[in-house]
Copies of this chain bind each other. A is one copy, B any other.
Amino acid sequence: MIPRYTPAEFAALWSPETRFATWLEVELAACEAMEEAGHVPTGTAKTIRELALKLDPQRIDEIEQVTRHDVIAFLTHVEELAGPPARWLHKGMTSSDVLDTSFAMLLVRASDLLVARLDLLIEALARRVREHRRTVMMGRSHGIHAEPVTFGEVLAGHLAEMKRARVRLVSARQEVAVGKLAGAVGTYAHLSPSIENRALAALGLQPETVPTQIVARDRHASFFCAMALVAAGIERLATNVRHWQRTEVREAEEAFAKGQKGSSAMPHKRNPILSENLCGLARVVRAAVVPALEDVTLWHERDISHSSTERMIAPDATTTLGFMLERGARLVDQLVVYPDAMRANLERTGGLCFSEALLLALVDKGRARQEAYVMVQRNAMRAIEGQGTFRSNLEADAEVSALLGKEGIARCFDLEHALRHVDAIIDRALES
């Protein structure tokens, strides 16, 4: 969470103000549930809400210097503001009831911010998919020309991946939308499941099945995994942009703003810096997965080792991913596409990309697959080494020619045929 990569909504979400306000929300929801259960005088929550409207994070910090305990410092400050009624707060509760329940609320809100941004990326992808449905480009495996595809189809792959990432994120949101008001070691020794149910429902959360002192951390680890999978999808997309923008390829390019400068030394540069930036940030989001998994193993009814980890990785990973999604959506939306360059690159290798059609045509004519392979390969290799074009070599190859004839060879170089299923594929992605 450095200012450079922190959207405003995430800065607000993870601020001390929001943290303490959320703690108070939890305390008051619990208090109201206790009022209904007759454990606490009616009206207590209402009174406190009015008196403790404006919490002072700095004052809480000061108190914590003495108590060395943040929740006690917070409660002490609420007592300062709200006076005697505040003694009913936190009744039968332990700090983690407040911390974990409010953490769940913040993670749910973070998820919602993330899903909203992911939806923008999905929309941008869908729009560009439709736009470039039939924009022909060379498909590449191993960085080497393979067979033709369309740019829309390529983006459709990213679209489908992002939709899968969304399903996982929404499911992980569900996993962390779980609070806990069960007291010191999760036994409701001074509370009850029904009070918990009432309070959590008011906060939009489910109760933990078997609470310990805290909500179980496998839930959070699962959430970090889901975030890393979103980030990995963005990284794949950004890596492809970087490839498309290479000087020798230049099939697509990040938008280059007026006044922008690519390099302090070289005025001619236009670099895919947004995409490179996204690749680097994906590493950061991914790096949160292992500590989150390490946090699962706490001793007995809990230890607090997960806490320092989470104080860092939860704001960091959610915020960084939020930034990545915003930047990713803009990247896709504004990506400058060069269909002519795509076509030119496709044609650069003189039809080598149709070698498989030749292979299959020869098999159809009765040759064993591996024999046919060798026949096609030798003509391709000559072309790659600069001797003739692939097609002229094939025509000049007595064995191939005898089997297929010039016309039969020609029929193999058919772009439309190669791409006849692309629409169906794209529709699957758009509809998935």
Tell me, in angstroms, the Cα distance from A418 to B192 when the chains sit together.
11
The reply to whether A271 and B189 form a contact with Cβ atoms under 8 Å apart is no
Interface status of A12 (Cβ within 8 A of chain B): no
The 5 A-B residue pairs whose C-beta atoms are closest, nearest first, are A139-B185, A268-B380, A142-B271, A280-B308, A94-B265
The reply to whether B316 and A264 form a contact with Cβ atoms under 8 Å apart is no
The reply to whether A265 and B184 form a contact with Cβ atoms under 8 Å apart is yes
Residue of B nearest to A73 (CB): B261
Tell me, in angstroms, the Cα distance from A268 to B153 when the chains sit together.
23
Interface status of A105 (Cβ within 8 A of chain B): no
Kindly supply a per-residue 1/0 record for chain A positions 246-288, scoring 1 wherever the CB is within 8 Å of any chain B CB and 0 otherwise: 1111000000010111111111111111001111111110111
Kindly supply a per-residue 1/0 record for chain A positions 368-405, scoring 1 wherever the CB is within 8 Å of any chain B CB and 0 otherwise: 11101110110011011000001000000000000000
Copies in the complex: 4
The reply to whether B304 and A185 form a contact with Cβ atoms under 8 Å apart is no
Among B161, B267, B306, point to the contact of A356 (Cβ < 8 A): B267
- CB interface residues, A 279-309, toward B, < 8 Å: 279-284, 286-291, 293-309
Among B153, B157, B306, B369, point to the contact of A79 (Cβ < 8 A): B369
The reply to whether A142 and B264 form a contact with Cβ atoms under 8 Å apart is no
The reply to whether B288 and A245 form a contact with Cβ atoms under 8 Å apart is no
Residues of B within 8 A of A296 (CB): 229, 232-233, 235-236
Residues of B within 8 A of A239 (CB): 297, 299
- CB interface residues, A 43-96, toward B, < 8 Å: 66-69, 71-72, 75-76, 79, 84, 86-95
Residues of B within 8 A of A140 (CB): 185, 247, 299-301
The reply to whether B297 and A235 form a contact with Cβ atoms under 8 Å apart is yes
- CB interface residues, A 194-239, toward B, < 8 Å: 209-213, 216, 218-219, 221-222, 225, 228-229, 232-233, 235-236, 239
Tell me, in angstroms, the Cα distance from A409 to B345 when the chains sit together.
33
Residues of B within 8 A of A359 (CB): 265-267
Residues of B within 8 A of A283 (CB): 290-291, 294-295, 305, 309
Interface status of A179 (Cβ within 8 A of chain B): no
- CB interface residues, A 131-189, toward B, < 8 Å: 138-149, 153-154, 156-157, 159-161, 164-165, 168, 171, 175, 183-189
The reply to whether B147 and A189 form a contact with Cβ atoms under 8 Å apart is yes
Residues of B within 8 A of A390 (CB): 268
Interface status of A13 (Cβ within 8 A of chain B): no
Interface status of A312 (Cβ within 8 A of chain B): yes
Residues of B within 8 A of A260 (CB): 66-69
The reply to whether A266 and B356 form a contact with Cβ atoms under 8 Å apart is yes
